[in-house]
Structure 1
Amino acid sequence: MVIRGTKTEGGWYVKAKPNGEPYPLDSRLAPLFREAGVTTLPGALQYGASTHGSKPCMATRQILKREREETNGKMFEKLQLGEYDWLTYSEVQEKAVSVGLGARQRGLQPLDRVVIFAETRAEWLMCAMGCLQHRISVVTLYTTLTDDGVAHGINETGVPFVFTSYDLLPRVTRLLSKCPKVKTVVVMEDQIDGLGDTSKFPASVSLVPFKELVTKDASWDRIDTPTPQADDTAIIMYTSGSTGTPKGVELSHTNILTSVIAYSVQMNVGPGDRFLAFLPLAHIMELASEIALISLGATILYSSPLTLTSTSPKVMRGTDGDAKVAKPTVMNAVPLVLDRIIKGVSQKVEQQGWIKSFIFNEAVRYKFWLEYIPFTSYFMDYFIFRRVQEELGGELKRLVVGGAPLSPQTHDTMRAIFGVSIQVGYGSTESASCITGMDEDDVNTGHCGGPNLGVLMKLVDWEEGNYKVTDKPYPRGEIVVGGPVVAKGYFNLPEENKAAFYQEDGINWFRTGDIGEINALGALKIIDRKKDLVKLKHGEYVSLGNAESKLKTLSNVENICVFADSTKDKTVAVVVPSADRLRKVADSVGIGGEVSVEDLCQHDKVKEALLKELQSHGKKCGLTRWEVPAAIYLTLEPWTPDTGLVTAALKLRRKQLCLHYEDSVHDMYSRLD
């Protein structure tokens, strides 16, 4: 089943009204780019600078003071933060040009590669654009990759030049002995400490401060600037993967610009909008979004998950979080971040007493329906939700959510509390983050919109999972995406390329491995993933990912991994509970006092009480009795990229979790037999 609509100059689009007519999808950027001759990513920045030259483009928050405080025997960094400092569009373009010339002066040539291993910040994007202007490909690495993963990306691509930051310089210093081809490291300085301690940095590698790199030199006048080509490999983006070694996805300028143009259809943003950037720029969703925003004249304010709100771990007491100061109108997010925001809000409301908690929860529950009564929504926002909304600046209008399916409960709750339009999208690194996206005025939940401009999509039967395009009432199958968004392939992995990518009628296609369902209006719902489907011994299929996405919306659960053995007739789960709420569960069964949270995790009565809550919640979310766990194991062990149990995008690494909790899973099944 190939889903295809009307062909336009921008590509294919397929969204249809109930009467079968296509929606009028008009890209603002496609004609402007065509008129300006924009075919590459640095061309998009040049276009933005020529159109919005003196307007604010990027902002970085001032660090006024840094302290380290001890909590429970561990040292934590706290920051006193000031206002945002701005760079105009013209200044950003000038810095990017200086980066490219500074890199060339230090030996880089067209068609070379560089690595950017740094947190999301203004210099990250300027470094990428500066190198791309000279046909130098950019290799991106998540900062949460393991040391072995970082070394693998550097060595596999053979880069001689690495951009990093003050915070990550100690890690790079450790890794240089494993990366013999690296000759130069450029460091984006800290506002207070500069480069920090460089005493252990090897003398055989050149260490260059970012400010020195972009300082004009007379030799720059002799450097020629080649013209990047649309089909050049612009980015080699390493994905952490859910199984093992990171894979580099080769993305051309055309791949990413197609995604940028599609963004301008989906998002009604422009020069008056402020975007708060805190997701990794090494993630294609964030990178494509920021390039689109620069092209559209919006302003980008940089943040991090550690300073986002006033309660974030690095924010010093008495200092406002970044969101409160930046007052963004637009943000990107992943479902896990939204779940944590909601759980944080719920815990604060509960601390104010049961009456306020009851009023707040009922307001969340009925707000959507009461919005049809004049002034009701304004009344509820002002008197009930205003303080909560101010934590994110109070002016947020829209959220773009990707990275994983968003549960309807999280979608509705977030929309009610913050009064924002939430647009869920679906994509992958291999498709430049661009497959489907919700329309701005779509109030439905549980789906991720129809195919974006420039995208072809089809469903293919998956016999093993019993998903077919002939299924009623809606077609189902593996999602296969085609068109100019599809990447060139995986770097240096020919066998994996044969399995995932193919050409048909001159069109590049990518097999996503995700299972989708198309509704009557052409919207896509992700219902499964090939690797997550397990058949139990009685013949029933269980979707592990579907069960986990719904069960983790329970406020008592921080994270969860469901396990299924095909020789058994039940599932079990390992749960990372919320420590504060676990004490309330313990109190409900008469266990309190001086018992530690670690001991509560091992207490049978506590586990039984939490299991009952989990089972009840799962049934309310529509899970079958086979998908709801029959037993749980509680652990306070953190699931972070550093522990290897989740990816850099915080997705479960199922194979590693299976090995790590093998004994616990075996013990749970033994007790059930």
Structure 2
Amino acid sequence: MVTQTFKVPSSEVPGYSAIYRNSLFKDGTQGSELSHITTAYELFQHHLAIAPKAEFMGTRRFNPADGTFGEYEWLTTSDIAELVENFGSGLEHVFAKYAADAKGYGTQQPLGMYANNRYEWFVAEFGAFRSRRYTVGICDAVDVQSAEYTINQAELKVIACSIDKIPRMLDRMAGTPSVRVIISMDRLDLSRPNNLTQAFCAETAGPSLRKRAAALGITLLDMDEVLEMGRATPTVAQPPAPSDICVMCYTSGTTGVMKGVLLTHDGMINAGRSSHLSFRYTDTTYLSFIPLAHCMDRYAIYMLMHGGVRIGFITGDRTRIVEDIQVLRPTILVGFPLLLIGIYERMTAATIRAKGVVGALSRIAYRSKRQRLASKGKLDHPLWDRMLFKKVAAQLGGRIKTVISGGLDLRPEVIDFFRAALSCDVVQGYGQTETGAAGTIQRPGDYTSGHIGVPNAGSDIRLRSKPDFGYLVTDLPCPRGELMIRSPSVFAGYFEEPEKTQDAMDGEWLATGDIVQINTTGTVSFVSRMKHHVKINTGYCVSSERLESAYAQHPMVQTLFVDGQQDYDKVVAIVVPEPTEFIPWARSVANMPNASLEELCAKPEVAKELTEVLRIYSASVGLSVGEQLGAIYIEPVPFSEKKHLFTSLLKFKRQAATKHYEEQLKKLYAEVGGLY
């Protein structure tokens, strides 16, 4: 058996596993290739050198008359370089005149960034890098309080933002006293219309916003004004050092207060280059839609900039993502499981889950492609691609070569379908904000599933035993424990939170808080998050994520939220059913042949019978008695339609879910016995 990791000899110590590295980078470094690039500013200069006249950043043409979007319009790398140079010079003048006393990390000053993904974000960001400033992403996709918290904690004095953010910033200026300057990425006279400017009147937008800002003591500029400052009086660039802070990204806040993660230039470049060395893409077309306030999208872009990339930005409306993909026709798609599952559901409904001849033919074709991949390692099929899957792939532009899934495990059936339908590589990776989104990545050409790959180039991993949770590095045949990462990409610390920084580190190793196992192939499989474990009153330690992953495989379950409490000997769950399988079964159980989904979910006898079905099923997938569901509430509305249950990165917020379903959980725990 060929192992994909290198086990460093004699590296075990009590309580810890051996150190593992990518078997292609046994010395623990990334080698000398592209090692001259040490900062994001140098990466941009590298891209300018290899592709000066190539299309670099594109935005879909907007028609304000009917609110539609057309083709992508492109700026070359040289166009962006000119904007970066002028904006960077202008930004120097802005800070010198209005915010010379701005304080950040060490001797560096922060620039706030508050917008959806767009090329102006990168102009402002690389302009900031030009003078050793770092950027702080602001996100309000979940609630405005998170934006206020970021502005205040980072003490932001200058913020670049889209025009739609300006009124809400002015509305809550009393709660963000540090802000002095707002730079609109959109022209205040609205002479460059886009979908964001539709709600503003050209005759009043600039004057009224400026008047409101001035009354609050805020200087309001637009990006063109800052660019003109830079053109009129150029300044000399003061590029960052590798050890300087590049970006401060806030954690998604799934379990409480967000933390400001300080990521260095060296760390971000190391993260991006580590994946470039695995994939080695050149002339890639990429759709930027993962919020840039976090680090995942930037990590992907930095990876692709090493080899040359054209970046198309989403229109800003997330419901149009598939349409944006069809117009841009990307060659690589990077996303999170929830988004990819949504695309999977849409595609399979029209193919392998369809009724009649189309469904029957699609299932035959799908089985044939899977067999060909398993036996010959080939993604394409001369017959079925031409007859069927070429049309399916066209729904995502028809050119995708690789799908990369970040976050938690993507279900094997989703991976298998994408490989068959798109004839492309599908790989999974693992990372955290604290590692610049890097950590492990599946190798291209590895057509297995159920794991998150191997250590990134130049990164070391090891496991730490967690006996209280039942995971030991001595477990056979696969060591299990908390994943520890040692890498240049590991963060410099949490902003102004030294105690939390210390808690996150074990010497030079980042303690991820995630349980994994090292497989016999050397790949790493995600098991669960320690923060999602609970010890029930039988003494058994239950992993909510493990149970959710297991029960979600049942045909009648679309998804579920498992909750456990230490005062009870059973866990309970909120279950969202899979309608196509659930409705016929539930109608039979309730003896209601015409009942709706909502009516069936409300029937106690249906919930009781489904609980029994899942109890029997639990044994077939290796769950113990302590992991059986004691009672369930059937939720007819998918979690995805409850936006407040997710972060901007589409991560499920368990604390929010517990509060949302508080009454249902009380009833479930009363049903299993004891006090809630």
TM-score range, shorter chain: 0.7 to 0.9
Question: How do 1:502-513 residues align onto structure 2 when only pairs under 5 Å count?
Answer: 502-503=506-507, 508-513=508-513
* AA aligned opposite 2:430: Y
2:222 and 2:636 mapped to 1: Cα distance? 40
Q: How many residues align?
A: 634
**SS of aligned partner of 2:117:** coil
Give the TM-score, by structure 2 length. 0.85
Deviations 1:213-241 (A, max 9, x none): 323555423x3322311111111101122
**SS of aligned partner of 2:253:** coil
Q: Partner residue of 1:257?
A: 269
1:596 and 1:66 mapped to 2: Cα distance? 41
Task: Say whether 1:497 aligns with 2:509.
Answer: no
Change (3 A) 1:166 1:378: farther
2:233 and 2:579 mapped to 1: Cα distance? 57
Q: Partner residue of 1:70?
A: none
Tell me which of 237, 241, 259 is aligned to 2:249.
237
* AA aligned opposite 2:245: T
Please, what is the CA RMSD of the aligned residues? 3.3
Give the TM-score, by structure 1 length. 0.85
1:119–1:143: 8 Å Cα contact kept in structure 2?
A: no
Change (3 A) 1:405 1:212: same
Change (3 A) 1:293 1:370: closer
1:275–1:300: 8 Å Cα contact kept in structure 2?
A: yes
Tell me which of 336, 339, 343 is aligned to 1:337.
339
Deviation at 1:513, TM superposition (A): 0.5
1:115 and 1:547 mapped to 2: Cα distance? 40
Deviation at 1:334, TM superposition (A): 0.9
1:2–1:459: 8 Å Cα contact kept in structure 2?
A: no
Q: Partner residue of 1:442?
A: 446
Deviation at 1:130, TM superposition (A): 1.0
Deviation at 1:631, TM superposition (A): 2.7
Deviation at 1:511, TM superposition (A): 0.6
* AA aligned opposite 1:90: S
Change (3 A) 1:326 1:624: farther
Change (3 A) 1:265 1:100: same
1:335–1:404: 8 Å Cα contact kept in structure 2?
A: yes
* AA aligned opposite 2:22: K
2:8 and 2:312 mapped to 1: Cα distance? 38
Stretch deviating more after TM superposition (233-242 or 599-608): 599-608
1:511 and 1:66 mapped to 2: Cα distance? 53
1:526 and 1:568 mapped to 2: Cα distance? 27
2:160 and 2:86 mapped to 1: Cα distance? 14
Q: Partner residue of 1:44?
A: 43
1:529 and 1:171 mapped to 2: Cα distance? 36
Tell me which of 417, 429, 434 is aligned to 2:433.
429
1:532–1:545: 8 Å Cα contact kept in structure 2?
A: yes
Deviation at 1:41, TM superposition (A): 0.6
Q: Partner residue of 1:71?
A: none
Structure 1 vs Structure 2: percent identity of aligned residues?
27
Deviations 1:335-382 (A, max 9, x none): 111211111223334785244324324543453213447998232222
1:617 and 1:207 mapped to 2: Cα distance? 61
* AA aligned opposite 1:58: M
2:160–2:182: 8 Å Cα contact kept in structure 1?
A: yes
Tell me which of 191, 194, 201 is aligned to 1:191.
194
Deviation at 1:210, TM superposition (A): 2.5
Deviation at 1:52, TM superposition (A): 0.8
**SS of aligned partner of 1:464:** helix
2:21–2:28: 8 Å Cα contact kept in structure 1?
A: no
Task: Say whether 1:296 aligns with 2:303.
Answer: no
Tell me which of 385, 396, 401 is aligned to 2:400.
396
Question: How do 1:514-663 residues align onto structure 2 when only pairs under 5 Å count?
Answer: 514-552=514-552, 559-577=559-577, 591=592, 598-607=598-607, 611=611, 623-624=623-624, 626-635=626-635, 639=639, 644-663=644-663
Stretch deviating more after TM superposition (613-622 or 256-265): 613-622
Question: How do 1:322-471 residues align onto structure 2 when only pairs under 5 Å count?
Answer: 322-349=324-351, 352-371=354-373, 372=375, 377-471=381-475
2:584 and 2:76 mapped to 1: Cα distance? 51
Tell me which of 102, 108, 115 is aligned to 1:118.
115
Deviation at 1:80, TM superposition (A): 1.9
Deviation at 1:394, TM superposition (A): 1.0
Deviations 1:57-115 (A, max 9, x none): 11111122476xxxxxxxxxxx5221010111111122222221222222255722111
* AA aligned opposite 2:404: V
Task: Say whether 1:279 aligns with 2:260.
Answer: no
**SS of aligned partner of 1:280:** coil
1:615 and 1:305 mapped to 2: Cα distance? 44
Question: How do 1:98-137 residues align onto structure 2 when only pairs under 5 Å count?
Answer: 98-107=86-95, 111-137=108-134
Deviation at 1:151, TM superposition (A): 0.5
1:25–1:265: 8 Å Cα contact kept in structure 2?
A: no
2:108–2:133: 8 Å Cα contact kept in structure 1?
A: yes
Deviation at 1:284, TM superposition (A): 1.5
Q: Partner residue of 1:227?
A: 239
Deviations 1:243-301 (A, max 9, x none): 21211000010110110110111213102x21122211222221111122123112111
Deviation at 1:599, TM superposition (A): 4.2
**SS of aligned partner of 1:134:** coil
For structure 2, which runs of at least 5 residues remain unmatched after alignment? Answer: 12-18, 101-106, 187-192
